[in-house]
Amino acid sequence: MAERKTIVGGNWKMNTNRAEASDLAGAVSEGFTNGDQADVFVCPPFPYLIPVAERLSANNGNLVQLGAQNFYHEPNGAFTGEVSLAMLQDLGVSTVLTGHSERRHVIGETDVLINEKTLAALEAGLQVVLCIGETLEQREAGKTNFVNAAQLSYGLAGVTAEQMADVVIAYEPVWAIGTGKTATPEDAQKAHQFIREVLTHGMFNETVGQSVRIQYGGSMKPANAKELLSQPDIDGGLIGGAALKADDFLAIVNAG
């Protein structure tokens, strides 16, 4: 099995104000000092990318990488309200999210758009975290593997084996987020193992399948991080709520 470096990302979603974002970035970057231990990135809201970038740069030389929650796939033009990859790169962004469950199910992004965005970000030289995962209804209908395979296939259409070096997969069991239901480490591992098998045997090859890192995005917290991260096919976490408290986020990073 390939040795895969842990990768932990903080998705701040639509939270924080300018001062809170700057302070959180400062606390995270001051607390994370071992770049050999893990790759770490944070995705603040768009208005706070600049102050967060400044804080990350000031501490440990950008050891904590700057990520963006969203972007538009066209290089420029009449796209009111959108943000381009070049704009994000101008601010120091190195990682972007695509296919997040909230973009799919709340905003209504389609598989086609998610693929266009994934391809554009890879072409621009950014690391892409492609999020996939099933809803409660889909899980209860026994469609977990079908949904994950389909979202992988659509999202990565046209992506080369070489480009997969810049792709991270984040498995988000939508049914386990805010529903009161819990994904066990065994549930999570089973899904991650299936995703790796699809990448290895269905889409790419052994080299790609064994080297791609798969994050868990289903409410990872300090209390369950160690058990989740000890699973053989779970390579990190995409953290929501716990990423808004530096101590909790760093505890998850250190759990790996």
For position 178, what pLDDT does the model report?
65
The C-alpha atoms of residue 129 and residue 118 are separated, in whole angstroms, by 9
Backbone angles phi, psi at 165, to 5 degrees: -65, -20
Q: Which of 73, 100, 116, 192 is catalytic?
A: 100
- Whether 128 and 98 have beta carbons less than 8 Å apart is answered as yes
- Judged against a pLDDT cut of 70, whether residue 160 lies above it is answered with yes
pLDDT tens digits for range 108-149: 999 999 999 999 999 999 999 999 999 999 999 999 999 999
The C-alpha atoms of residue 232 and residue 102 are separated, in whole angstroms, by 27
pLDDT tens digits for range 179-209: 667 689 999 999 999 999 999 999 999 999 9
Give, in order, the Cα–Cα distances in Å from 121 to each of 7, 231, 248. Answer: 19, 29, 30
Query: Among 39-43, 129-133, 180-184, 237-241, which is the least confidently predicted range?
Result: 180-184
Average pLDDT over residues 99-105: 97
Segments of 69-145 assigned E as strands:
95-98, 127-132
**Per 3-state DSSP, what percentage of the chain is helix, strand, and coil (rounded to 5)?**
50, 15, 35
- Whether 16 and 24 have beta carbons less than 8 Å apart is answered as yes
Look at strands 6-11 and 38-43 and give their pairing: parallel
To the query of whether residue 201 is one of the catalytic residues in this protein, the response is: no
Structure tokens at 161: 């084996």
The C-alpha atoms of residue 168 and residue 46 are separated, in whole angstroms, by 21
For the domain made up of 6-255, the CATH class stated in words is: alpha beta
Average pLDDT over residues 148-175: 97
pLDDT tens digits for range 55-85: 999 987 789 999 999 999 999 999 999 999 9
Q: Which residues pair with 113 in a beta bridge?
A: none
11 assigned to a ligand binding site: yes
| 164: amino acid identity, one letter | M
To the query of whether residue 100 is one of the catalytic residues in this protein, the response is: yes
> For the chain, what percent of residues have pLDDT higher than 90?
92
178 assigned to a ligand binding site: yes
Looking at every residue in the chain, the average pLDDT score rounds to: 95
The pLDDT confidence band at residue 175, using thresholds 50, 70 and 90, is confident
Average pLDDT over residues 231-250: 97
Backbone angles phi, psi at 195, to 5 degrees: -60, -45
pLDDT tens digits for range 201-231: 999 999 999 999 999 998 899 999 999 999 9
Backbone angles phi, psi at 213, to 5 degrees: -90, 135
Backbone angles phi, psi at 40, to 5 degrees: -130, 135
Conformational region of residue 99, where left means phi above 0, alpha means psi within -120 to 50, and beta covers everything else: left
226 assigned to a ligand binding site: no
For position 2, what pLDDT does the model report?
61
- Whether 93 and 52 have beta carbons less than 8 Å apart is answered as no
- Judged against a pLDDT cut of 80, whether residue 249 lies above it is answered with yes
12 assigned to a ligand binding site: yes
- Whether 192 and 204 have beta carbons less than 8 Å apart is answered as no
Conformational region of residue 172, where left means phi above 0, alpha means psi within -120 to 50, and beta covers everything else: beta
- Judged against a pLDDT cut of 90, whether residue 38 lies above it is answered with yes
The C-alpha atoms of residue 233 and residue 69 are separated, in whole angstroms, by 24
| 46: amino acid identity, one letter | F
Q: Which of 102, 109, 116, 172 is catalytic?
A: 172
